[in-house]
Amino acid sequence: MAYWLFKTEPDCYSWDNLEKDKQTVWDGVSNNLALKHLRTIKKGDLALIYHTGDEKQIVGIAEIVGYPYVDPKLNDPKLVVVDVKAKRKLHTTVSLAEVKANKKLADFVLVKNARLSVMPVSDEEWEILLSGEKTKA
């Protein structure tokens, strides 16, 4: 089981869209490194959904419901997509400012490579990011 972070423009496709759709095809990833990560994603993995643009915060958790496959809408074997479904909304969203303020997250890819749209999240980072949840649960 692995953890990921998917970035999205809320104007384009937001967490609310995903929650409404229940499940969606996560497509439109064209960056090579992001695609490389995408191809290693497995069924059952979890992904944080991060809103870029005006919000810049992690808003929810999605579950990967299948394995990556070539985008059927495009004729390019390099461009893969994956099916995800909404798992749950975060009770406490985690903003980019909070991530940056946390010294333990200095190596987090979101901080180091702001432009990557699909990135791995380590177990430790996952724990830290969701620590605000645990205290309330």
Partner DNA sequence: GCCAACGTTGGC
By CB under 7 A, tell whether 136 contacts DNA: no
Closest alpha carbon to 58 in 96, 106, 25: 96
Contact 47, 4 (CB under 8 A): yes
Positions 98 through 117 that interact with DNA (CB under 7 A): 100, 112-117
Distance (Å, whole) CA 15 – CA 51? 8
**Which residue in the set 17, 31, 40, 122 belongs to the binding site for DNA (CB under 7 A)?**
31
Distance (Å, whole) CA 129 – CA 88? 15
Count of CB atoms situated within 10 Å of the CB of 23: 13
Q: To which residue do tokens 């643009």 refer?
A: 53
What are the φ and ψ backbone dihedral angles of 90, each rounded to 5 degrees?
-75, 135
By CB under 7 A, tell whether 52 contacts DNA: yes
By CB under 7 A, tell whether 78 contacts DNA: no
Binding residue count for DNA, defined by CB under 7 A: 18
Cβ distance to DNA smaller for residue 17 or 31: 31
Least distance CB 5 / DNA (angstroms): 11
By CB under 7 A, tell whether 9 contacts DNA: yes
Q: Which residues bind DNA (CB under 7 A)?
A: 7, 9, 30-33, 52-53, 56, 96-97, 100, 112-117
